[in-house]
Amino acid sequence: MIYPILFCALLATAIGQSVFLTTVPSLGRLAGLSEMQVAIMMSSSALVFAIGANIWSRYNLRYGYKKLLLLGLSGYTLGTLVFATIWWAGLHSGLSGTLLFAGLLLSRCLQSSVMSATPPSVVGYVVAISGSEQRAASISKVTSANNLGQILGPPLAGLLVAAGILAPFYFVIVFTLLAIVLVARKLPELDPAQRRAANSQPDSSAAPVKSSTLLLVGCCVCLFGCMAIMQQSLAFYLIDTQGYDAVGAARQAGLAMMVMAVLSLVIQFSAVQRRWLSAPILIYSALPLAAVGYLTLYLQPGSVSLYLGMALMGAGFGAAYPSIAAVATSRCASERQAKVTGLITASPAMGYITGPPLSAALYGIDERLPFLAAALLMGLATLAVWWRLPVRAA
């Protein structure tokens, strides 16, 4: 029963994040915000999230996974309410310009500072109750919620925008409230002895991390940074080159990201959870697959190539992230466990720190250039893994 509860907790926030990424570029256009302002909003909140995830991961032992998970979900719920309310004021009550941007930026960063407690508490809980050989499959059982959230979130946003472009945000609030109730009533808290067994040294932050682990963290950052580049650019690309309006672009971008998420989920449920291949082999093959997906978007603009590229990216992402997380947490000493968990769970936010502003800058030069940059970054990550990551623990 533990894994389904953790899955639902991550699913609630994953749907919220996919709704945010799908609708905010179009909202920015409606409210008169520039591409760079939207990018700064994403990047700044991601920076806060990355710092927060590393900090919260060190408090798992002291306060327990369940308490921090409830804190993260509560912060996400309240933060979404405030964020949506400020957007409403910008669209209907005359709030605009610098004041609107500052309000959105501040509310999103405050939300990120609290909701960043969710991923390290979930992944830390899984690491604590799973053995090293089953860890990739165990992590995939809960992190596949991110992919399902990407499947459900975009089409849900596309449907709900018919009732108002802010309607998806208010639905997310209901969903996260249900997750809070489920976690509070059903998730057992690990006792202190179990938490100490998972994190045997309280002062784990002082232990150095191996270079191979840092390489894996860097690959995760690159993986999510490239995803951020795509998500930041896609809606603007559809508006500026394909003739969509803001609502139509949100729907089309949501459908494309749903295709990506479906392939990612299929790979996780099959190749990863059934352990058809070892985690290192999955990493070696997944990163170049994602690179080819981004290159497809750059070379062949159009609907068919868009869905093909997103499918390739989804397959690569679905195999790469849980495998990287499993290898990184399995190959580190116990005194480094909390630190490595914090780095891995913060890596998505680290990618979103640099991805959106890089995408906005390149988009100003050429609408397709962000996709080429993502392909090159994934290619470099592939070469680094092939060169430096050992198949067996070192």
Q: Do the beta carbons of residue 212 and residue 390 sit within 8 Å? A: yes
**Residue 354 belongs to a domain:** yes
Instruction: Look at residue 205 in the predicted model and tell me its pLDDT.
Output: 45
| CA 52 to centroid of chain Cα atoms | 14
Q: How many CB atoms lie within 10 A of CB 387?
A: 8
**Residue 376 belongs to a domain:** yes
| CA 285 to centroid of chain Cα atoms | 21
| Type of residue at 386 | W
pLDDT by residue, tens only, the chain of 394 residues: 788 898 888 888 888 887 887 788 778 888 888 878 888 888 888 888 878 887 887 777 677 888 999 999 999 999 999 999 999 998 887 788 889 999 999 999 999 999 988 888 887 888 777 766 666 567 667 766 766 676 677 667 767 777 888 888 898 899 899 999 999 998 887 765 555 555 544 444 445 556 777 888 888 889 888 988 887 788 788 888 777 777 777 777 778 877 887 888 788 778 777 777 777 888 888 899 999 999 998 887 677 888 898 899 988 888 888 788 777 777 665 556 666 766 776 777 778 788 888 888 898 888 889 999 999 999 999 998 888 776 554 3
Q: Phi-psi region for residue 275, left (φ > 0), alpha (ψ -120 to 50) or beta?
A: left
Closest among 193, 253, 209, 223 to 323, alpha carbons compared: 223
Phi, psi of 134 (to 5 degrees): -95, 5
Give me the domain span that covers residue 221. Answer: 2-388
Closest among 73, 162, 149 to 118, alpha carbons compared: 73
- Joined together, the tokens standing for residue 213 give 């682990």
Q: At 244, which CATH number? A: 1.20.1250.20
- Joined together, the tokens standing for residue 38 give 């939207």
Q: Do the beta carbons of residue 121 and residue 72 sit within 8 Å? A: yes
**Residue 394 belongs to a domain:** no
**Residue 393 belongs to a domain:** no
Instruction: Look at residue 109 in the predicted model and tell me its pLDDT.
Output: 93
Closest among 231, 118, 354, 314 to 126, alpha carbons compared: 118
**pTM (2 decimals)?**
0.67
**Residue 291 belongs to a domain:** yes
Instruction: Look at residue 134 in the predicted model and tell me its pLDDT.
Output: 67
Q: Which residues contact 5 (CB under 8 A, 6 or more apart)?
A: 182, 183, 186, 187
Q: Do the beta carbons of residue 351 and residue 46 sit within 8 Å? A: yes
**Residue 340 belongs to a domain:** yes
**Residue 134 belongs to a domain:** yes
Tally the domains of the chain. Answer: 1
- Find the farthest-apart pair of alpha carbons in the chain and give their distance in angstroms, rounded: 60
- Joined together, the tokens standing for residue 164 give 């108002």
Q: Which residues contact 212 (CB under 8 A, 6 or more apart)?
A: 331, 388, 389, 390, 394
DSSP state of 163: G
**Residue 77 belongs to a domain:** yes
Residue whose entry in the numeric block shows the structure tokens 């979930």: 122
